[in-house]
C-alpha cells in the first residue's frame, strides 16, 4: 500500500496564494529600494558635476563655462567656441565623464532626439550662470542652484531660464523624478534632494534659489 500522501488541489492553491501574498508584500519594498538607489546615484552624479564646475572656474579666472559655444564675453576657448559644443564638454578636462550626465530614473529616449544621448543629458544648466558670469562675486554659493534635472518640457535646450519668472520655466524641471522630489546641484558643490517648492519658496527674488541676486544689474548699486 502506498502511504505517501499527495497534495490535494486545495493545498496547492493555498500554497500558491501564500506565495502570491508574500511576493506582493516584497515587491513594493524592492521597488522602493531600487528607486532610492537611483536617487542616490543621481545625487552622486551631480556632486561629480559640481567638482568639475569648481575646478573649471579655478582654471578660468572664476568664470562659469558658457551654456554652449559662441562668443559671450567669456575667455576664448579656441576650437571649443564652436556653437555645437555644450556646457558639459567644457567640464570634461576637469573630471566630468558622460556617465555623470545620466540619471538612472530618467527615461533614456525622448522624442525629438537623435541617437546621441549626450545631447539629451539628464541635467540642465541654470541660465543665470551661462553667459559671462563669475563665481567669485557670489556671496552665498550654497543657496544658488547650478543644475536641475531635465523635465519632459525641456527636450531641446541645454539650459533653463532661472532669471525669468518661475512659471515660465518650472515645467522644464523634472520636479518629481525621485519619489515626488528631484536632485539639485548648488554652486558650492553640494547636491540635495528637494521638493521643487523648497527651491523657489514664495517665488520672489529673495527666496527663489534659481535666481542669483548678485547678477541683477542693480544689486550692487541699488
Which residue ranges make up the site for Zn ion (CB under 5 A)?
A: 42, 103, 149
Closest CB 203 distance from Zn ion, rounded Å: 23
Smaller CB separation from Zn ion, 133 or 210 = 210
Query: Which is closer to Zn ion, CB of 103 or CB of 166?
Result: 103
Q: How far is the CB of 171 from Zn ion (least distance, A)?
A: 17
Q: Which is nearer to Zn ion, 50 or 69 (CB)?
A: 50
Residues in the chain: 222
- Of residues 57 and 101, the one with the C-beta less far from Zn ion: 101
Q: Write down the least CB distance from residue 147 to Zn ion, Å.
A: 11
Q: What is the rounded CA–CA span in Å between residue 2 and residue 145? A: 76
Give 149 or 170: the residue with its C-beta nearer to Zn ion. Answer: 149
Q: How far is the CB of 187 from Zn ion (least distance, A)?
A: 19
Kindly state the cell numbers that stand for 112. Answer: 525629438
Residue 114: half-sphere exposure toward Cβ, Cα within 13 Å: 3
- Which among 166, 161, 219, 172 has a CA at the least distance from the CA of 197? 166
- How far apart are CB 41 and Zn ion at their closest, in Å? 8
Amino acid at each position: 500500500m502506498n502511504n505517501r500522501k499527495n497534495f490535494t488541489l486545495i493545498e496547492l492553491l493555498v500554497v500558491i496564494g501564500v506565495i502570491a501574498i508574500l511576493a506582493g508584500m516584497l515587491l513594493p519594498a524592492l521597488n522602493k529600494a531600487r528607486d532610492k538607489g537611483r536617487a542616490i546615484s543621481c545625487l552622486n552624479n551631480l556632486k561629480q558635476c559640481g567638482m568639475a564646475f569648481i575646478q573649471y572656474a579655478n582654471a578660468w579666472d572664476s568664470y562659469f563655462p558658457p551654456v554652449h559655444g559662441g562668443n559671450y564675453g567669456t575667455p576664448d576657448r579656441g576650437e571649443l567656441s564652436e556653437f555645437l559644443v555644450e556646457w558639459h564638454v567644457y567640464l570634461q578636462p576637469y573630471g566630468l565623464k558622460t556617465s555623470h550626465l545620466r540619471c538612472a530614473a530618467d527615461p533614456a529616449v525622448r522624442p525629438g532626439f537623435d541617437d546621441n544621448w549626450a545631447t539629451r543629458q539628464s541635467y540642465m544648466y541654470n541660465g543665470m550662470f551661462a553667459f559671462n558670469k563669475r563665481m567669485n562675486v557670489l556671496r552665498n554659493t550654497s543657496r544658488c542652484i547650478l543644475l536641475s534635472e531635465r523635465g519632459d518640457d525641456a527636450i531641446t535646450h541645454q539650459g533653463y531660464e532661472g532669471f525669468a519668472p518661475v512659471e515660465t520655466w518650472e515645467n522644464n524641471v523634472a520636479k518629481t523624478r525621485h519619489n515626488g522630489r528631484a536632485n539639485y546641484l548648488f554652486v558650492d558643490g553640494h547636491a540635495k534632494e528637494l521638493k521643487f517648492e523648497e527651491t523657489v519658496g514664495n517665488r520672489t527674488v529673495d527666496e527663489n534659489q534659481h535666481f542669483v541676486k548678485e547678477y541683477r544689474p542693480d544689486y550692487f548699486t541699488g
